[in-house]
């Protein structure tokens, strides 16, 4: 069986500074995978490489067994990869509903059509509405995304990421800056909307990581230090030294 996402000897340098130093990673279909590591380890850079936002310096990335190295972000997205951002990245001057409808248009094949009425596209409207409901934003449906609360914007960000039906989902610190209760709700949301999909997330909150992930990769100085099940990661002395131990202080 081919993996959902495979990274082969991925390198990335900015000028002379090497940020990613040869990452090999294979993520199986349906897996929930967390990437942890200290600040500056290159977690967000790795996401930017996978999603096509930055070009690779060397190496290859395969999505569903197909080489997507060097493709533009929209091309990778069309092949089934959705991503969220660490800093909320939505359409602020559009309503919650419009945000989600825009997120489903391409996947339903409407492309750049300027001869179809968007309100008459029942499948797009239905999908957007369903997503509004699943995100728990029904009461905010007609609000502009830019005026939502932070937690609501984060939920919408996840919604926009997955609404198009992507089956490989990259979430970059989905619970950063949230209160305890907000985090719990976010975890529930992530759990429910990624059912049957492949999830890769960068996360700092260890309770979230250990609660959600099937496997964890520890990224240190642009290299995968360890990649294993949560219990094994917790018990790994190298990881403890490099990362978890440091967190206790």
Please say which residue, 118 or 229, places its beta carbon nearer to other proteins. 118
Q: Rule CB under 8 A: say whether 116 interacts with other proteins.
A: yes
Please say which residue, 111 or 180, places its beta carbon nearer to other proteins. 111
Total residues contacting other proteins (rule CB under 8 A)? 48
Q: Rule CB under 8 A: say whether 72 interacts with other proteins.
A: yes
DSSP β-ladder status, 66-67 and 223-228: unpaired
Q: Segment near other proteins (CB under 8 A), from 4-12, 121-129, 196-204, 214-222?
A: 121-129
Q: Rule CB under 8 A: say whether 73 interacts with other proteins.
A: yes
Burial 85-110 (b: 16+ CB within 10 A, else e): bbebebbeeebbbbbbbbbbbebeee
Q: Rule CB under 8 A: say whether 115 interacts with other proteins.
A: yes
Q: Rule CB under 8 A: say whether 16 interacts with other proteins.
A: no
Report whether 61 contacts 49 (CB < 8 A): yes
Segment 17 to 56, residues that bind other proteins, using CB under 8 A: 51, 53
Q: Rule CB under 8 A: say whether 120 interacts with other proteins.
A: yes
Report whether 80 contacts 63 (CB < 8 A): yes
Binder among 160, 186, 216, 242 for other proteins (CB under 8 A): 160
Q: Rule CB under 8 A: say whether 98 interacts with other proteins.
A: yes
Task: State the angle between helix axes of 150-163 and 122-134 in degrees (0 to 180), rounded to the nearest 10.
Answer: 140
Q: Rule CB under 8 A: say whether 193 interacts with other proteins.
A: no
Q: Rule CB under 8 A: say whether 187 interacts with other proteins.
A: no
Segment 205 to 224, residues that bind other proteins, using CB under 8 A: none
Alpha carbons 65 and 102: distance in angstroms, whole number: 28
Q: Rule CB under 8 A: say whether 77 interacts with other proteins.
A: yes
Please say which residue, 112 or 237, places its beta carbon nearer to other proteins. 112
Site residues (vs other proteins, CB under 8 A): 51, 53, 72-74, 77-78, 82-83, 89-94, 97-98, 101-103, 105-107, 110-122, 125-126, 129-130, 132-133, 138, 141, 160-161, 163-164
């Amino acid at each position: 069986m081919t993996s959902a996402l495979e990274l082969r000897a991925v390198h990335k340098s900015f000028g002379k500074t090497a940020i990613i130093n040869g990452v090999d990673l294979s993520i199986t279909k349906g897996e929930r995978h967390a990437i942890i590591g200290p600040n500056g380890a290159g977690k967000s850079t790795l996401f930017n490489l996978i999603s096509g936002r930055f070009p690779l310096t060397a190496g290859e990335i395969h999505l569903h067994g197909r080489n997507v190295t060097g493709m533009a972000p929209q091309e990778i997205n069309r092949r089934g990869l959705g991503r969220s951002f660490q800093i909320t990245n939505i359409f602020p001057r559009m309503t919650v509903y419009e945000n989600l409808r825009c997120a489903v248009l391409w996947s339903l094949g409407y492309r750049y059509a300027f001869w179809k009425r968007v309100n008459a596209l029942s499948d797009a409207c239905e999908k957007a509405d369903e997503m509004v409901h699943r995100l728990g934003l029904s009461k905010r449906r007609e609000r502009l995304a830019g005026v939502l609360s932070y937690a609501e914007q984060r939920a919408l960000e996840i919604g926009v990421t997955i609404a198009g039906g992507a089956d490989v989902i990259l979430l970059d610190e989905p619970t950063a800056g949230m209160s305890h209760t907000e985090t719990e709700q976010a975890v529930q949301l992530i759990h429910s909307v990624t059912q049957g999909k492949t999830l890769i997330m960068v996360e700092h909150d260890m309770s979230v990581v250990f609660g959600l992930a099937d496997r964890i990769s520890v990224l240190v100085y642009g290299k995968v230090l360890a990649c294993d099940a949560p219990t094994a990661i917790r018990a790994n002395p190298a990881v403890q030294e490099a990362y978890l131990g440091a967190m206790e202080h």
